[in-house]
């Protein structure tokens, strides 16, 4: 039977596809800062309680040009680099071992699951007893904090390498070392790099905490001291620097991912 | 001349019997299709034949490989098994790099097999840039690069759509024509068996045992000849008759096992 008239079929497949816009993001961020600036001047908030963005920028400029903020940052960055490198090397060794060998797997998983939940900053006093109040204890705390997530991401990276690729390599007679180098490591790389993101933010967190507990130099010590002296603009200038460090590290890892795992 | 022989091979995964007392051999230049219902242990059998899995009982022996063969028992995988981070040439070269070959020899072999499989223009492409059919061509090129004596093909076309499958079947029959490779070709697709095989080894449902061995009625070279179409259609129907009941039973068993 032929219907009397045909209605247009209404479109109902829209939505659920949010898009990112760089410009929109920038506007939102600048808008927030402008709102903050306006609020502090209109409401006459005490700069001791909450300085305006302009005041923070001025403090940052002063600290960089006339103060020693850069050398404080340098001290922290060196601690992060040393602790992170040590933790990553040891973590990768254990994690890859856990992914490849039965003994390392059994031993590694029980040790990691027992020690991973400990907040590493709680071990700083012990580290100070062992390595002294100087650089050693801070570097060791960061290394410990980085070690566990790195080991876990490396082990799960090896586990995530498709079994059929390993069987393929075996079927073509590749020796064990070649399979690890050409199949397992590249296959585990996405997970290892994702682990870098986590471990680098842990390293930043730990360096600040450790410097707040026992250090004369470093960005953590600087922020704490500014707070004690009620120099809120300087305190927040230090926080801005910390967020910049975090951004730079995230960008660097992003660039590494774009270069090394563009095959995904 | 190359030959591979399975003798009383049985296999079980835990309490599950997968293969029971499978014995047959494939001679030089022969293509044997292993057909049977899903889950009858065909792929398991191929893994055992190629030394990737140890059978619970029985043995596999092979020999008579040409000296030039770099990897006598070579697999072609259903899911292609390509390294996603290597380009086409790199995936083929992976099979050669650990052999005692000069870089020049490796390059020559890679270029040669890429030409034979129609991939020369795609040497620098990553797997993610290729269609399924092209990916399996890479799998074939990689297998041919090591000059196999026995080719172990595990449902090589079943991940492809039916048009691509037809195209690749033509290529396969051409590539398998020259040379005296023995081929063990696992498939659940009877068209592939009828097109490519000298012999069909028909398996029962799980636990898989050999139900029948059926010789092709027409030599491989004449399969495309319309004069033989009817004979081949009859062979296909005979094979399907043997499998149909088993496949229906297997299907019901699978459903029954899933039920709570």
B50-70: per-residue pLDDT in tens?
999 999 999 999 999 999 999
Q: How far is the alpha carbon of A86 from chain B, nearest alpha carbon, in Å?
A: 28
> What is the span of the domain harbouring residue B198?
26-53+154-260
Instruction: Please tell me the number of Cα atoms within 13 Å of B229 on its side-chain side.
Output: 4
Give the per-residue pLDDT at B251: 76
Q: Is residue B15 part of a domain?
A: no
Per-residue pLDDT of chain B (260 residues; tens, 9 = 90+): 778 999 999 999 988 899 999 999 999 889 999 998 887 889 999 999 999 999 999 999 999 999 999 999 999 999 999 999 999 999 999 999 999 999 999 999 999 999 999 999 999 999 999 999 999 999 999 999 999 999 999 999 998 998 889 889 988 888 888 667 899 999 989 999 999 999 999 999 888 999 999 999 999 888 889 999 999 999 999 999 998 888 887 777 765 555 44
Cis link prior to A85 (omega < 30° from 0)? Answer: no
Sorted by sequence, the CB contacts under 8 Å of residue B159 that are 6+ apart come out as B78, B79, B80, B132, B136
Give the per-residue pLDDT at B129: 96
Give the per-residue pLDDT at B255: 59
List B residues 48-67 in contact with A (Cβ-Cβ < 8 A): 50, 52
Question: Which 3 state secondary structure label does DSSP give B84?
Answer: coil
H helical segments located in chain A? 22-42, 53-65, 69-100, 102-115, 124-131, 135-159, 163-171, 176-179, 185-214, 219-228, 232-260
Statement to judge: residues B130 and B80 lie in one domain: yes
Give the per-residue pLDDT at B256: 55
- Find the CB nearest B95 among A172, A183, A261: A172
| Chain-chain contact of B74 with A175 (C-beta, under 8 angstroms) | no
Q: Is residue B58 part of a domain?
A: no
A183-227: per-residue pLDDT in tens?
999 999 999 999 999 999 999 999 999 999 988 899 999 999 999
From B148, B165, B195, the end of a domain falls on B148
Question: Is B129 near chain A, with CB under 8 Å?
Answer: no
Q: How far is the alpha carbon of B249 from chain A, nearest alpha carbon, in Å?
A: 30
Question: Which 3 state secondary structure label does DSSP give B190?
Answer: helix
| Chain-chain contact of A170 with B52 (C-beta, under 8 angstroms) | yes
Statement to judge: residues B142 and B177 lie in one domain: no
Give the per-residue pLDDT at A13: 92
Sorted by sequence, the CB contacts under 8 Å of residue A49 that are 6+ apart come out as A232
Statement to judge: residues B158 and B208 lie in one domain: yes
Which segments of B182-256 are extended strands (E)? 182-187, 199-203, 210-215
- C-alpha distance from residue A197 to each of A63, A243, A255 (Å): 29, 14, 12
Q: Pick from A171, A176, A189 the residue to mutate for testing the B interface (most B CBs within 10 Å).
A: A171
Question: Which 3 state secondary structure label does DSSP give B74?
Answer: strand
Give the per-residue pLDDT at A121: 93
**pLDDT surpassing 50 at residue A176:** yes
Question: β-pairing, B150-154 with B31-35?
Answer: unpaired
Statement to judge: residues B101 and B217 lie in one domain: no
How confident is the model over A222-234, as a mean pLDDT?
95
Q: Is residue B61 part of a domain?
A: no
The number of folded domains in chain B is 2
- The two three-digit tokens of residue A224, written as one number: 């704490």
Statement to judge: residues B254 and B158 lie in one domain: yes
A91-135: per-residue pLDDT in tens?
999 999 999 999 999 999 999 999 999 999 999 999 999 999 999
CB A195 within 8 A of CB A202: no
Distance CA A154, CA B249 (A): 45
Statement to judge: residues B161 and B126 lie in one domain: no
Residue B79 burial (CB count, 10 A): 17
Q: What is the DSSP letter of B21?
A: E
Question: Is B173 near chain A, with CB under 8 Å?
Answer: no
| Chain-chain contact of A164 with B84 (C-beta, under 8 angstroms) | no
> In which residue are the tokens 């293509």 written?
B31
**pLDDT surpassing 60 at residue A19:** yes
List B residues 92-111 in contact with A (Cβ-Cβ < 8 A): 94-95, 97-98
| Extents of the domains making up chain A | 75-216
Statement to judge: residues B110 and B192 lie in one domain: no
Give the per-residue pLDDT at A143: 97
Instruction: Please tell me the number of Cα atoms within 13 Å of A57 on its side-chain side.
Output: 5
Q: Is residue B9 part of a domain?
A: no
Question: Is B84 near chain A, with CB under 8 Å?
Answer: yes
List A residues 129-168 in contact with B (Cβ-Cβ < 8 A): 162, 164-165, 167-168
| Chain-chain contact of A182 with B50 (C-beta, under 8 angstroms) | no
> Which residues of A fall within a CB distance of 8 Å from B73?
171
From B127, B148, B169, the end of a domain falls on B148
How confident is the model over A11-36, as a mean pLDDT?
93
> In which residue are the tokens 């305190």 written?
A235
Q: How far is the alpha carbon of B40 from chain A, nearest alpha carbon, in Å?
A: 20
ipTM, two decimals, is: 0.92
> Which residues of B fall within a CB distance of 8 Å from A168?
75, 77, 81
Statement to judge: residues B31 and B120 lie in one domain: no
Q: Reading across the β-sheet that carries B182-187, which strands appear in turn?
A: B73-76, B150-154, B182-187, B31-35, B199-203, B210-215
Q: Is residue B215 part of a domain?
A: yes
- Find the CB nearest A164 among B74, B81, B94: B81
Question: Which 3 state secondary structure label does DSSP give B154?
Answer: strand
CATH class of the domain whose range is A75-216: mainly alpha
| Chain-chain contact of A183 with B83 (C-beta, under 8 angstroms) | yes
Statement to judge: residues B256 and B160 lie in one domain: yes
Give the per-residue pLDDT at A47: 87
Q: Is residue B174 part of a domain?
A: yes
Distance CA A127, CA A138 (A): 8
Statement to judge: residues B167 and B223 lie in one domain: yes
How confident is the model over A18-32, as a mean pLDDT?
93
Question: Is A264 near chain B, with CB under 8 Å?
Answer: yes
Question: Which 3 state secondary structure label does DSSP give B3?
Answer: strand
> Which residues of A fall within a CB distance of 8 Å from B92?
none
> Which residues of A fall within a CB distance of 8 Å from B95?
172
Statement to judge: residues B34 and B161 lie in one domain: yes
Q: Is residue B19 part of a domain?
A: no
Statement to judge: residues B104 and B41 lie in one domain: no
From B101, B122, B148, the end of a domain falls on B148
Question: Is B79 near chain A, with CB under 8 Å?
Answer: yes
Q: How far is the alpha carbon of B175 from chain A, nearest alpha carbon, in Å?
A: 20
Q: Is residue B137 part of a domain?
A: yes
pLDDT band at A2 (very low <50, low <70, confident <90, very high): confident
Closest residue on chain B to A183 (Cα): B83
| Chain-chain contact of A183 with B84 (C-beta, under 8 angstroms) | no
Closest residue on chain B to A164 (Cα): B81
Q: How far is the alpha carbon of A98 from chain B, nearest alpha carbon, in Å?
A: 23
């Amino acid at each position: 039977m032929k219907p009397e008239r045909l209605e247009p079929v209404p479109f109902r497949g829209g939505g659920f596809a949010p898009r990112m816009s760089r410009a929109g993001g920038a506007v939102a961020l600048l808008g927030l800062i402008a709102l903050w600036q306006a609020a502090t001047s209109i409401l006459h908030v005490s700069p001791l309680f909450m300085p305006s963005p302009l005041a923070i920028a001025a403090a940052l400029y002063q600290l960089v040009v006339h103060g020693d903020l850069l050398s404080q940052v340098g001290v922290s960055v060196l601690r992060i680099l040393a602790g992170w490198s040590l933790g990553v090397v040891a973590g990768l060794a254990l994690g890859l071992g856990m992914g490849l060998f039965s003994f390392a797997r059994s031993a590694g998983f029980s040790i990691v699951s027992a020690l991973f939940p400990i907040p590493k900053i709680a071990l700083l006093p012990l580290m100070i007893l062992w390595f002294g109040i100087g650089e050693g204890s801070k570097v060791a705390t960061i290394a410990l904090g980085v070690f566990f997530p790195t080991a876990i991401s490396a082990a799960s990276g090896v586990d995530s390498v498709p079994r059929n690729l390993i069987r393929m390599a075996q079927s073509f007679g590749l020796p064990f070392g070649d399979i690890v180098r050409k199949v397992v490591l590249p296959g585990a790389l996405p997970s290892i790099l994702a682990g870098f993101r986590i471990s680098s933010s842990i390293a930043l967190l730990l360096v600040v905490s450790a410097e707040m507990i026992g250090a004369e130099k470093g960005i953590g010590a600087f922020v704490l001291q500014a707070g004690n002296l009620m120099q809120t603009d300087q305190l927040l200038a230090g926080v801005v620097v910390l967020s910049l460090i975090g951004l730079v590290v995230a960008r660097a890892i992003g660039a590494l991912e774009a270069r090394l795992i563009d095959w995904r | 001349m190359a030959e591979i022989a399975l003798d009383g091979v049985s296999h079980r995964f835990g309490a599950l019997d997968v293969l029971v007392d499978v014995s047959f051999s494939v001679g030089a230049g022969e293509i044997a299709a292993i057909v049977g219902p899903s889950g009858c242990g065909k792929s398991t059998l191929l893994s055992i034949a190629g030394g990737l899995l140890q059978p619970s009982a029985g043995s596999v022996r092979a020999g008579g490989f040409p000296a030039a063969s770099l990897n006598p028992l070579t697999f072609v995988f259903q899911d292609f098994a390509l390294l996603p981070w290597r380009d086409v040439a790199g995936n083929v070269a992976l099979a050669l790099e650990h052999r005692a070959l000069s870089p020049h020899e490796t390059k020559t072999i890679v270029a040669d097999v890429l030409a034979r499989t129609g991939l020369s223009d795609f040497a620098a492409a990553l797997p993610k840039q290729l269609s399924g059919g092209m990916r399996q061509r890479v799998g074939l090129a990689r297998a041919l690069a090591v000059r196999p004596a026995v080719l172990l093909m595990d449902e090589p076309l079943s991940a492809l759509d039916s048009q691509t499958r037809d195209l690749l079947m033509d290529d396969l029959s051409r590539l398998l024509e020259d040379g005296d490779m023995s081929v063990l070709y696992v498939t659940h697709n009877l068209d592939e068996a009828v097109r490519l095989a000298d012999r069909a080894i028909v398996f029962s449902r799980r636990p898989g045992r050999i139900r029948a061995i059926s010789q092709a009625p027409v030599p491989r070279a004449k399969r495309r000849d319309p004069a033989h179409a009817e004979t081949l259609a009859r062979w296909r129907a005979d094979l399907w008759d043997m499998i149909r009941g088993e496949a229906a039973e297997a299907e019901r068993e699978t459903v029954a096992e899933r039920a709570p």
